[in-house]
Amino acid sequence: MLDIGQIHRAEYELDTSRSLRGKNPRKTANKRPDEKPPVVIAEAPGRIHILGDQGDPVSDNYLSAAIDRYIHVAVSPRKDNSFRFYAADLGERKRSTLVNLKYRREDRWANYLKTAIYLFSGMGCSMKGMNFSFCGNIPQQIGLASSTAIESAAAVALKNLLRIQISDMELAQKLHEAHQEFFSSAAPAVDYYVCLLARKDHFLFVDISGGVFEKIKSPFSLFRFLVIDSRVPRLGAENEMASRKADVLKGLELLSQKFDGASFKDFAAADILEALGNLPEQVRRRSMHIVEEIHRVNDAVEALQRSDLASLSKIIFHSHESLRDLFEISCPELDWLVKRAQELEGAAGARMTGHGFGGCTYTIIRKELVEEYKRRLEEYERIFGFRPVIYEVKIAKGARVIPNKGG
């Protein structure tokens, strides 16, 4: 990854030299090196959902993990009131001010940096001008939460620069709320909790409605995690997902007329199989997936706690089958990738992750079988016309401030 500290210094020292044109050269020459403004750099990881990412939209149960792909954000103060943004990977620049701080579609990536400013400004912090630079190596547009990582890294850097006392838990909650206000759209709260609370070599069980955030030690020291980008274009996926959400909410509404509960988690604890059979068929299938996925998340947590890899493997494969057959958001390419892993005795699970209709899968496999699995994927391009991209990742820690090698 690019050295964001050096890039930030180079970008904004250049910017400062431009702004000093026409000013007193003696004053400029007398500036001491130690008068350079401080630069704070933070990193935030991407994440994968092991289970639960198409679960109960009300109660939100997930088994997730951060991965060792990161966004780095560097922040430094300015003497004026301008906010300057630089995307080092793209060589693009944007700008704004606090008065004009709002979502602008044409600002694309800069909107995520602006969310962090919006958060702390809304908390009453004194916000003067600042420089922001960022770069990263989280694969884009395949459901690994790269945008959440930009917001989280920017928020952690600003928290440090402004010396704000706030816990990671509270920061995750407030950043999620700030995103929804700034973008005027819903966003999954779990991504912020994973990004900020994750611990190296630990899974994170998240039950948002129950207020449970449990770190579980990974039993996979002899395994490797592979994220496989299917390269399938997700055309029309937004409309399909909106349809699934409508079906789920309809199922919740109909069940609520017969049972006392506000979410599928309430119903999952009761025997509602008979009631599910009375729902319209499409709504029944979607609702059945949600109820069973809640059970799978809970069962997977128990399997992890006792290092029962055989049970966990079955749970993960069954989850993919449910996404394929009941929720119907998989596709032949994703099913093929999962099936190749399922054929190997040393695979501890494989499943699609993200929004489906393309995107990616993950595979947990013994390290000595990684090359064999990759070899089996060589047929993928011939069959489907796309060349999959394979990323080997590790379970990583959450967002943090990192040393600034640029001084």
Q: Look at 15 and 140; give whichever has higher pLDDT.
A: 140
Mean pLDDT value across the chain: 90
Inform me whether the pLDDT recorded for 263 exceeds 60: yes
Model confidence band, residue 406 (pLDDT cutoffs 50, 70, 90): low
Tokens encoding 407: 């001084």
Inform me whether the pLDDT recorded for 341 exceeds 90: yes
Give the integer Cα–Cα distance in Å for 194 and 53.
13
Inform me whether the pLDDT recorded for 348 exceeds 80: yes
Tokens encoding 283: 């709504």
Helix axis angle for 110-122 and 146-162, nearest 10°, is 40
Integer CA distances (angstroms), 234 to 320, 359, 371, in order? 18, 7, 28
Alpha helices by DSSP H, 100-185: 110-122, 146-162, 168-183
Give the integer Cα–Cα distance in Å for 344 and 122.
52
pLDDT per residue over 91-138, tens digit each?
Answer: 999 999 999 999 999 999 999 999 999 999 999 998 899 999 999 999
* pLDDT value, residue 20: 44
* pLDDT value, residue 26: 43
From 53, 191, 207, 266, the catalytic residue: 191
Residues making up the chain, counted from first to last: 407
Inform me whether the pLDDT recorded for 144 exceeds 70: yes
Percentage of the residues of the chain whose pLDDT score is greater than 90: 73
Q: Are 338 and 377 in contact (CB under 8 A)?
A: no
Sheet with 360-366, edge to edge strand ranges:
347-353, 360-366, 223-229, 389-393
Q: Specify the range with the lowest mean pLDDT, choosing from 43-52, 177-186, 253-262, 363-372.
A: 253-262
pLDDT per residue over 231-244, tens digit each?
Answer: 998 777 888 888 99
Inform me whether the pLDDT recorded for 282 exceeds 80: yes
Catalytic (active site) residue 56: no
Ordered structural domains, the chain, with CATH: 4-216+397-402 (3.30.230.10)
Model confidence band, residue 25 (pLDDT cutoffs 50, 70, 90): very low
Inform me whether the pLDDT recorded for 230 exceeds 90: yes
* pLDDT value, residue 112: 98
Q: Specify the range with the lowest mean pLDDT, choosing from 264-268, 292-296, 374-378, 397-401.
A: 264-268
Model confidence band, residue 30 (pLDDT cutoffs 50, 70, 90): very low
Positive or negative, the CA dihedral 140, 145, 147, 152 is negative
Inform me whether the pLDDT recorded for 17 exceeds 70: no
Question: Strand 130-136 and strand 82-87: pairing?
Answer: parallel
Inform me whether the pLDDT recorded for 22 exceeds 70: no
